[in-house]
Structure 1
Amino acid sequence: MTETPHSPSSHADPASNPELVRGEDGRVRPRWAATDPLLRDYYDHEWGVPIRTERGLYERLSLEAFQSGLSWATILRKRPAFRAAFADFEPDAVAAFGDDDVRRLLADAGIVRNERKIHAAITNARATVSLRSDGGLVQLVWGFQPAPGPPPQSYAEVPAKVPASEQLAKALKKAGFVFVGPTTMYALMQAIGMVDDHLVGESGPLAG
């Protein structure tokens, strides 16, 4: 992981932190990623790895919105179905969705059938396309990367939102995006490597 603000220390003893678990493979993970194979794979290869592509950011924005009120494990299990239903999250394709597509999506048991969130994904695809004439989604999102801070010792030190996520939420709303509140945007910032909230002692992602 070369582009995140700081890298997790491999020297701290995870045995002293009840929020960390050393797996059979020797890697140290947080408890949320220690047992479920799907979450473990996501943690090892994706969480905190920088994403700097329009499609990648649009997909994460969409999935973070669908996750609201649900577990991230639920979203990951449905991710293949989401990709199939939303044209692999290609913004141009989703921006062209109409009423027939909304009805199709509402009938798709493989995804989260929430009408407001479905409309939000389509609205955000159109906003993503429109934003290209003003620098693009990648430039806008990464323009709010905060200065790095010390790595947290525990999740009690990890905030739900920060001033940068509040500013990002406002900028996205101004650009026509919806379902982009400051808490959701901080979760996005963590997931795409804009901030590094790996606890001291974690092994960190394998990718990057």
Structure 2
Amino acid sequence: MAEQTRCAWVGADALYCAYHDEEWGVPERDSRMLWETLMLEGFQAGLSWITILRKREGFRVGFAGFDPDKVAAFGPDDVERLIGDPGIVRARAKIEATIRGAQIFCEMRDRGEDFAAYVWAFVNDTPITNDGLHFPASTGLSEVISKDLKKRGFKFVGPTIVYAWMQAIGMVNDHAASCFRRSELRA
């Protein structure tokens, strides 16, 4: 059987291939998972996504399975513990932003605002399918979402990070025109 054509960014790394084939661009509707992915995208700033992907399990251990209630309760001792954890990216500002992000997620939930409903409202609950030929770093919509997230207090949510997140969670189908996943996700 011939190898299927993937997006050019994937390369040959088995972990990257699995991520591309099974996760990237698949519409995610779980609020907690959407928040986890947003936080991981923030950690990716200045690094490659494969670095974050290789450390994802370490992040999940360090951040209590990305349980927003548990992370929201993290204090200074937890920050220091995480800064010393070689299983994650040890950037104080990003760690503190994740803790604050958990608090914001919980505040939204406690006000009756579902994070998934909030996220998907930006696209009227329907993924955007781009042409598969042009891949912008950000868009007008990612700028709008970025501004709204920042207004709510989230950090590391600039338009480029937000656009990468939109691609990862399937708000945008940016698989290349030649990629086998493009048509599968449109179906």
Instruction: State whether TM-score is above 0.5.
Output: yes
Asked if the contact 2:130–2:173 (Cα under 8 Å) also holds between the matched residues in 1, the reply is: no
Pairing of 1:31-70 with structure 2 (within 5 A): 31-70=8-47
Aligned to 1:148: 128
Work out the number of aligned pairs and report it: 182
1:193 and 2:170 equivalent?
Answer: yes
1:125 and 2:106 equivalent?
Answer: no
**2-structure distance, mates of 1:166, 1:178:** 14
> Given residue 36 of structure 2, which amino acid in structure 1 is its aligned partner?
E
- Deviation track 1:111-169 (CA, whole Å, cap 9, x = no partner) reads 0000000000001000000111152221221111287354222xxx1111111111111
- Deviation track 1:16-50 (CA, whole Å, cap 9, x = no partner) reads xxxxxxxx753111232130111000000000011
> Per chain length, whose mean CA-contact separation is higher, i.e. which structure has more relative contact order (CA < 8 Å, sep 6+)?
1
1:138 and 2:111 equivalent?
Answer: no
Unpaired segments ≥5 residues, structure 1: 1-23
Aligned to 1:110: 87
Q: 1:95 aligns with which of 72, 76, 82?
A: 72
**1-structure distance, mates of 2:2, 2:27:** 24
**2-structure distance, mates of 1:184, 1:46:** 17
Q: 2:135 aligns with which of 150, 155, 158?
A: 158
> When you count helix as a share of all residues, which structure comes out higher?
2
Q: 2:63 aligns with which of 76, 86, 93?
A: 86
- Deviation track 1:5-26 (CA, whole Å, cap 9, x = no partner) reads xxxxxxxxxxxxxxxxxxx753
**1-structure distance, mates of 2:12, 2:72:** 37
**1-structure distance, mates of 2:153, 2:103:** 8
**Kindly tell me: are residues 148 and 51 of structure 1, through their superposed partners in 2, closer, same or farther at Cα, counting changes over 3 Å?**
closer
**2-structure distance, mates of 1:50, 1:190:** 9
Cα deviation, residue 180, structure 1: 0.7
Cα deviation, residue 176, structure 1: 1.8
**1-structure distance, mates of 2:9, 2:130:** 21
**1-structure distance, mates of 2:130, 2:107:** 37
**Kindly tell me: are residues 31 and 88 of structure 1, through their superposed partners in 2, closer, same or farther at Cα, counting changes over 3 Å?**
same
Three-state SS of the structure 1 residue aligned to 2:106 is: helix
Give the percent of matched residue pairs that are identical in Structure 1 and Structure 2.
48
Aligned to 1:17: none
**Kindly tell me: are residues 150 and 177 of structure 1, through their superposed partners in 2, closer, same or farther at Cα, counting changes over 3 Å?**
closer
- Deviation track 1:66-109 (CA, whole Å, cap 9, x = no partner) reads 00001111101101100000011011110000011001001101
